Amino acid sequence: MPKSKRSSKRRVDRKMPKPKKTKSESARLKATLRSARPINAALKTLVIAAEPPIDSNPAHLDSAFRGKLERALAQLSAQGNPFRFVEGFRMVDRQQWLYGSGRPSAVPYGRPGPILTNADGVNALSKHQGNGTPGSGLAADCYPLRGGSVYIPPDTDPIWDQYAAAVVAQGLVAGRNFPKFKDSPHCEMP
């Protein structure tokens, strides 16, 4: 992001320790995801300052869930619609950070923005958190690949229906089929 677009909020957030920058797969994926859709620049500065990292380690998922997910992704690939597993297990910190979006008074990560989840990470756990320990994650967020890169199609894109069908075929629940809070990239153990 160009320096000129940084808001004054950024200066406040500089007092916080900077998140460690690694060239990990998840960091590159995050960069890809951010560049793939327009994001309000003011909110983006907050994201850069405070976002706890995405965990894309399949070993941090529950093994039965991981097996089903891998079969669904293999099927999509065979159909010519490859998807990539982008986020799985979540620590409390990251769930709280997601919960803070759209809830400016939430502690510790309240800020303006869209509501992203109803699970506060402590009293209501997301399936991404499993039982709180790495290796127990029961949900994943996956995105399609185009030319080898992850992109974020609009919710109306039928490619999401194919993803939902593939995970449902493995006995998983597709976030796209949630009656409220339709969440197309998400799937989880029932």
Residues that bind Zn ion (CB under 5 A): 139, 141, 186
Q: Pairing between strand 149-150 and 186-188?
A: unpaired
Other residues' Cβ atoms within 10 Å of the Cβ of residue 98: 20
Q: Which is nearer to Zn ion, 49 or 167 (CB)?
A: 167
Whether 96 and 109 have beta carbons less than 8 Å apart is answered as yes
C-alpha span between 185 and 145 (Å, rounded): 12
Q: Which is nearer to Zn ion, 30 or 186 (CB)?
A: 186
In the bound complex, what is the minimum distance in angstroms from residue 36's beta carbon to Zn ion?
17
Whether 86 and 33 have beta carbons less than 8 Å apart is answered as yes
Q: Which is nearer to Zn ion, 147 or 154 (CB)?
A: 154
Tokens of 186: 């998400």
Q: Which is nearer to Zn ion, 12 or 132 (CB)?
A: 132
In the bound complex, what is the minimum distance in angstroms from residue 123's beta carbon to Zn ion?
18
In the bound complex, what is the minimum distance in angstroms from residue 110's beta carbon to Zn ion?
21
In the bound complex, what is the minimum distance in angstroms from residue 186's beta carbon to Zn ion?
3
Whether 116 and 87 have beta carbons less than 8 Å apart is answered as no
The number of C-alpha atoms within 13 Å of 48 and in the hemisphere containing its C-beta is 20
CA-nearest of 40, 47, 44, 43 to 19 is 47
Q: Which is nearer to Zn ion, 62 or 141 (CB)?
A: 141
Other residues' Cβ atoms within 10 Å of the Cβ of residue 185: 20
In the bound complex, what is the minimum distance in angstroms from residue 92's beta carbon to Zn ion?
15
In the bound complex, what is the minimum distance in angstroms from residue 126's beta carbon to Zn ion?
7
Q: Which is nearer to Zn ion, 49 or 138 (CB)?
A: 138
